[in-house]
Structure 1
Amino acid sequence: MRHVLNLLVLWVCMGLGIHAQARPIEVKSENFVFVGNVAESSARELLTELEIYRAAILHRMGAKIGPELIPVRIYSASGPKGIATLTGVKGADGVYLSTVEGPVFVLNSAGGFRRGKKARAIALHEYTHHLLASFTGELYPRWFDEGLAEYLSTFELDRDGNMVIGAPDHDHAFMLSQKNWFPFRLMLAGVRAYPFSFTDNSRNGQYTRGMYYAQSWLAVHFIQSTKGYNAKLDDYVARLNARQSPLKAFEKAFGMKPAEFEALLRAYRKRNRFLKATFKNPTKSKDIKLAVREMGKGELYMHKAEAIRAYRGTKERYKKALEYYDRAAKELGNSPRIQAGRAAIAAKTKDYDKALGLVTAALKQTPDDEYLNRVAGMVLMMKNDTDKKPDMAEIKRARKHLKKAMMANPDNAAAHYYYVQTFIIAHDPPTRQAIASAVFGLDYYRSINFVDTNVDFAEILINTGRKQLARKTLERAIAWSNNSDVQYYARDVLSSMH
């Protein structure tokens, strides 16, 4: 995630002021929901370009161009400080995150989203992470993930409406003109983790980050523009997914040492012949439907709270989210949705009695609400996810709420996710619904962020005749997990399947 988060622009809060020329708005397209404080024309242009970009990239990848199962939520903020308020990450311009409740990213809206603006490139960069995570069958090393996002974020349309990518990035060109590059061997070693700290804002830390992104962009540009190297890349990724070490996988696939590849990149940069690629675009601007509406303070406060809740929080940040829920309640009344949001935060801080009281009160007002039932099931599941013997009455209540949410919306991914967890916690034989939810979860939660928890889905499937799907999930955990306990468990289960 090159950039980090940057959410909502509010009336007055944490230094986020409302711009005189823009009203807080919500803009919806088929696959995106934007919430922010920007000019309507700017938000319209952003979502239109994201829809065009999405269709063009999926078409190029040969993927089915269907709608997002859960629309991507986009929040805007007026600078890195606003992003830090919402996400806890400092010094970033935007960040994409795959959450149990769906994809979300926050970005810096300063200057607007028109072509040539930084915020536009950030949006395209972050959405590329989502496309890789959700619509490919492979997991990719960090340097390629970031380099491809940088490469594709140069996307533009020519006069005929075709997609053009590969334009030189001037910031990267400047970095690459420097003598001291990031050792490519170290870039290879960071398969999942970044080989630097995002919190190091010293001059050297900023230089290192800038050089890493510049070299990642150059490597992808070289591979995409040089005959035969896409095949080498495919072999490299396959070897990584087959659990070869990063260095061995690279040397076997590319037929050279990292230093030799770095020398090729230096020569490629020196030639300065960055070829652009042009692709036919399957979607036209006129075909994209947008719905725009202005928002009041109460809705903005609620979105602010929910944005904070989407990211990993601290007690202090959760406290701030509750303050925004309180402000929203003053404007909108203590609605069931606000009560459920407070319940979710109480559960994250392990105050389960309070969480159950809040969500139960909300359900009394709207007992069939999909969202409320999902939250109720989640709270009960989390309460019993301990080393102690679970309360089976509460586990059954959790399943009842989650099935109700799934009946209201069969594509409620989070309800499927939490439903499977109740069987893992209780060590119960999986029901037909649990099996179906596990299959659903493995298909939807493809991001590397879920490589550990997907082992739970595999456990459900092992004894149900779906061993191949379970095997692939366990192999991914061994290859990509940063958790040695998960890797050990996956190896143990795999060996027992032979």
Structure 2
Amino acid sequence: MKRAVWGVVTVWALAATTVPAEAKWLRADTDSFIIYSESNEKALREFAQNLQRFDSTLRLVFKVETEGEDSKLPIYLLPASEDVAELATGSRKSPIGGFYRQDRDGAFAMSNRENDNLGKGTSASQQVLFHEYSHHFMKRHLRAAFPGWFIEGFAEYYSTVDFDKQGHAMIGQPVYRRAYGLLMQPKIPVERVIMEPPSAMRTNGQTDVYYGRAWILTHMLFHNPARPNQLGTYVNAINAGTEPKKAATDAFGDLAVLDKDLNRYIEGRLSYRTTRDPVPVSANITITPLSADEDAVILLRLERMNARGDKARMVKARDALRALAAKLPANPDVQFELAAAEWEIDEDRDLAAIRIALGKVLAAKPDHVRANVLLGRLNVYELYDKGSDDPSAWGAARKPITLANRTDPNDAVPLYAYFESFTMQGKRPPDIAIQGLERAFSLTPENIEIRVSYAFALANLGDFEPALRLAKTVAFDPHDNGRGEVMLAQLEKLRDRGAGGSKDAAAEGTD
């Protein structure tokens, strides 16, 4: 066990890197990631090695035996935090320097390449990315329901992982960016941290203090020998259905005493752990330049991906893609992004324009996975809109989705789209579709929509206990905006009225 001094409050000085105007996007493939960046090959390789090493560290700590992922996490690196903020929120003034997002079409993360390690510890940009990837890792590999404070405390705790000259991982180092909030701002009592989600904080200052308190509480429960195994006892109780405050007091004792202990812990010296052996640098990294077609559209792809849910931004992205498609009519990547943006406009989408764009994509790339999925969804939507009950028409509508699955069996999106097509038809999904949904969940358990559908599919089969366990993992997620609580209540209602196997269960799960 080594020691790290908490020290004084550090003010970060940010120095943005510059990228030549002629820079082209590169793609790095590792065991667990697909990383896109405009940086040079040497810098991207070093970044990819460090990130894969972090992934290996988490696998070592949590005894995850697999070395990589069938479904890899895409990560996009932009020059500066302001660029990330603009994509995330539409404003360059937002404090967001990186984020992790998951939706029906998969998860991705964004960070920046700022040279901002002028303060203590690892760079802020690395900490942001490690924080976000820790969320992804927790959702994918730690199959339990965790309360919101621990979800954030866990991500903060692992965000500062670094490696010494011999390659040992150093785990649990101070999160200096939380120092000001912890030491200079009014404290939030432990009971509030445990019982309230971060969304309950009313100001940015309170949110900063909440994250800091969640981190230092996690650190104390991991490191303080006076509180052995208390965190595990607490999480087990939560998952067993114990009321949250009772679970906390049973595990931690008097919460007022816990609060006093935490305040003393902040003032002390923080220990950190090192791995017994060096964590090796992966040699399994390949770097390739993007094709001219993909390079031309990648920034608009990012705009389209981040505009989801914001109709005005999506229309703006669609219009920009229309203009680019007019200049590059033979570019299938532009055509796909145009079709995808048009689809996301929802009730005002131009179905004919989507079909034309997809036709151009598939003429150039007949096995384009996501274009085939979108074509299948378009076919299904049109049949649903017409109220068709023609089984042969529905079977034909699904053919592009089936082709997409054959092309890439490790992509969860075609598997989910196939299952979803039966609920759109108003039919109980056949066993093969339910098996496909189960496979989609195993590939991307972090995908909330797939998790919800799988939970209701289990309930529809009468398997309520695993369904409720899945619902709890969603209900406690601080990023879920309350959807999980509604889902949990629906499943409990179905269980209580003995609705296992009813058609209603499948229908409710797809709302």
Give the TM-score of the pair, scaled to structure 1: 0.83
Is residue 379 from structure 1 mapped to residue 378 from structure 2 by the alignment? Answer: yes
Q: 8 Å contact 1:71–1:103 — kept in the other structure?
A: no
3-state SS, counterpart of residue 120 of structure 1: helix
Moved more, 427-436 or 226-235: 226-235
How far apart, in 2, do the equivalents of 1:279 and 1:86 lie?
A: 37
Deviation at 1:388, TM superposition (A): 6.3
Partner of 2:246: 248
Deviation at 1:29, TM superposition (A): 2.1
Is residue 227 from structure 1 mapped to residue 225 from structure 2 by the alignment? Answer: yes
Partner of 2:104: 100
Q: 8 Å contact 1:59–1:65 — kept in the other structure?
A: no
- Give 2:301's match in structure 1, choosing from 286, 301, 306: 306
Trace 1:59-78 onto structure 2 (pairs within 5 A).
Answer: 59-78=60-79
Trace 1:46-195 onto structure 2 (pairs within 5 A).
Answer: 46-88=47-89, 90-111=94-115, 116-178=122-184, 180-191=186-197, 194-195=199-200
Deviations 1:147-178 (A, max 9, x none): 22221122122233211112223332333222
Is residue 456 from structure 1 mapped to residue 457 from structure 2 by the alignment? Answer: no
Q: 8 Å contact 1:187–1:195 — kept in the other structure?
A: no
Trace 1:260-409 onto structure 2 (pairs within 5 A).
Answer: 260-270=257-267, 272-281=268-277, 283-285=279-281, 287-295=282-290, 299-311=294-306, 312-326=308-322, 329=325, 333-350=329-346, 351=349, 352-382=351-381, 395-409=394-408
Relative to structure 1, the CA distance from residue 370 to residue 172 in structure 2 (aligned partners, 3 Å threshold; closer, same or farther) is: closer
Deviation at 1:363, TM superposition (A): 2.5
Q: 8 Å contact 1:32–1:71 — kept in the other structure?
A: yes
Partner of 1:5: none
Deviations 1:117-144 (A, max 9, x none): 2211212111111111111111322221
Q: 8 Å contact 1:301–1:327 — kept in the other structure?
A: no
How far apart, in 1, do the equivalents of 2:384 and 2:258 lie?
A: 48
Relative to structure 1, the CA distance from residue 368 to residue 178 in structure 2 (aligned partners, 3 Å threshold; closer, same or farther) is: closer
Q: 8 Å contact 1:371–1:405 — kept in the other structure?
A: yes
Relative to structure 1, the CA distance from residue 381 to residue 277 in structure 2 (aligned partners, 3 Å threshold; closer, same or farther) is: farther
Q: 8 Å contact 2:167–2:278 — kept in the other structure?
A: no
Deviations 1:375-430 (A, max 9, x none): 21233345567796777666434422111111112111011111111122223232
Across the aligned residues of Structure 1 and Structure 2, the Cα RMSD in angstroms comes to 3.3
Counterpart amino acid of residue 262 in structure 2: L
Relative to structure 1, the CA distance from residue 403 to residue 497 in structure 2 (aligned partners, 3 Å threshold; closer, same or farther) is: same
How far apart, in 1, do the equivalents of 2:388 and 2:414 lie?
A: 23
Counterpart amino acid of residue 123 in structure 1: L
Counterpart amino acid of residue 411 in structure 1: N
Relative to structure 1, the CA distance from residue 477 to residue 394 in structure 2 (aligned partners, 3 Å threshold; closer, same or farther) is: farther
How high is the sequence identity, in percent, across the aligned residues? 21
Relative to structure 1, the CA distance from residue 419 to residue 293 in structure 2 (aligned partners, 3 Å threshold; closer, same or farther) is: same
Relative to structure 1, the CA distance from residue 229 to residue 98 in structure 2 (aligned partners, 3 Å threshold; closer, same or farther) is: farther
How far apart, in 2, do the equivalents of 1:396 and 1:230 lie?
A: 57
How far apart, in 1, do the equivalents of 2:444 and 2:61 lie?
A: 22
Q: 8 Å contact 1:299–1:328 — kept in the other structure?
A: no
How far apart, in 2, do the equivalents of 1:387 and 1:227 lie?
A: 65
Moved more, 434-443 or 308-317: 308-317
Deviation at 1:103, TM superposition (A): 2.4
How far apart, in 2, do the equivalents of 1:252 and 1:386 lie?
A: 53
Relative to structure 1, the CA distance from residue 478 to residue 177 in structure 2 (aligned partners, 3 Å threshold; closer, same or farther) is: closer
How far apart, in 1, do the equivalents of 2:41 and 2:71 lie?
A: 23
Partner of 1:201: none
Deviations 1:59-85 (A, max 9, x none): 110112232222221112233432233
Q: 8 Å contact 2:239–2:469 — kept in the other structure?
A: no
Relative to structure 1, the CA distance from residue 486 to residue 388 in structure 2 (aligned partners, 3 Å threshold; closer, same or farther) is: farther
How far apart, in 1, do the equivalents of 2:114 and 2:469 lie?
A: 43
Relative to structure 1, the CA distance from residue 466 to residue 170 in structure 2 (aligned partners, 3 Å threshold; closer, same or farther) is: closer
How far apart, in 2, do the equivalents of 1:284 and 1:476 lie?
A: 33
How far apart, in 2, do the equivalents of 1:17 and 1:384 lie?
A: 50
Deviation at 1:341, TM superposition (A): 1.9
3-state SS, counterpart of residue 42 of structure 2: helix
Deviation at 1:303, TM superposition (A): 1.6
Deviations 1:32-81 (A, max 9, x none): 22222334333222211111111111111011223222222111223343
Partner of 2:10: none
Q: 8 Å contact 1:424–1:456 — kept in the other structure?
A: no
Give the TM-score of the pair, scaled to structure 2: 0.81
Moved more, 371-380 or 417-426: 371-380
Q: Which runs of 5+ in 2 are unaligned?
A: 1-16, 501-511
Moved more, 361-370 or 479-488: 479-488
Relative to structure 1, the CA distance from residue 464 to residue 86 in structure 2 (aligned partners, 3 Å threshold; closer, same or farther) is: same
Q: 8 Å contact 1:176–1:214 — kept in the other structure?
A: yes
